[in-house]
C-alpha cells in the first residue's frame, strides 16, 4: 500500500512540475510574441528593394552600384549630421529630410557627376519606402 502511495505522489509531483514548466514557457512565448522586433537595415536587402521599385526611367539609367553608393553616402551624411547631438546624449534629434537630400546631392556633384539629381532623389524617396516596410519609420507612437 505504501509503495502505491509513493508512486502516486511521485506521479502527482511530476505532473505538477511539468504543468508549471508548460505554464512558464507558454507565458514567455506570449510575452515574446507581443514585443516589437527591432528594425534592421540590411544594405543588400535595401538595394534590391529599392532597385525593384524605382520608376522605369530611373531604373534604366542607374545600376545597383549607383543605388548602393547613394545609400552609403546618405548613411554617412546622416551620421555626420547627428554625431554632435549623439555625443551630447541627445538621441531624439530629428534631421531635416530636405537638408539630408541636399548634402547627398552636394556629394553627387563632387564624386558622381554622372548621376542625375532626380535619380538620386528617386533612390532616397524609395529608401523611405524600405524604411517603412521594415518598420523603422511610420506613424508616431
* Per-residue pLDDT tens digits for 90-129: 666 556 666 778 888 889 888 999 999 999 999 999 998 9
pLDDT band of 4, cuts 50, 70, 90: confident
C-alpha cell at 37: 522586433
- Indicate the range of 45-49, 61-65, 78-82, 113-117 predicted with least confidence: 78-82
Report pTM. 0.66
- In whole angstroms, give the CA distance from residue 28 to residue 129: 33
Sign of the C-alpha dihedral, residues 123, 128, 131, 133?
A: negative
- Indicate the range of 56-65, 77-86, 111-120, 121-130 predicted with least confidence: 77-86
The residue among 51 and 137 whose pLDDT is bigger is 51
- In whole angstroms, give the CA distance from residue 128 to residue 134: 10
Residue 141 confidence (pLDDT): 46
Domain coordinates in residue numbering, the chain: 1-35, 43-133
Residue 56 confidence (pLDDT): 93
Mean pLDDT of the chain: 85
- How many CB atoms are closer than 10 A to CB 113? 8
- In whole angstroms, give the CA distance from residue 16 to residue 9: 10
Amino acid at each position: 500500500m505504501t509503495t502505491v502511495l509513493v508512486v502516486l505522489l511521485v506521479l502527482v509531483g511530476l505532473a505538477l512540475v511539468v504543468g508549471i514548466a508548460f505554464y512558464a514557457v507558454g507565458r514567455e512565448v506570449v510575452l515574446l510574441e507581443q514585443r516589437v522586433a527591432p528594425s534592421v537595415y540590411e544594405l543588400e536587402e535595401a538595394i534590391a528593394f529599392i532597385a525593384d521599385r524605382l520608376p522605369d526611367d530611373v531604373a534604366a539609367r542607374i545600376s545597383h552600384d549607383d543605388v548602393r553608393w547613394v545609400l552609403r553616402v546618405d548613411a554617412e551624411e546622416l551620421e555626420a549630421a547627428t554625431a554632435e547631438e549623439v555625443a551630447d546624449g541627445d538621441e531624439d534629434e530629428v534631421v531635416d529630410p530636405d537638408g539630408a537630400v541636399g548634402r547627398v546631392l552636394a556629394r553627387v556633384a563632387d564624386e558622381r557627376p554622372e548621376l542625375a539629381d532626380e535619380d538620386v532623389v528617386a533612390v532616397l524617396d524609395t529608401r523611405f519606402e524600405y524604411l517603412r516596410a521594415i518598420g523603422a519609420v511610420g506613424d508616431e507612437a
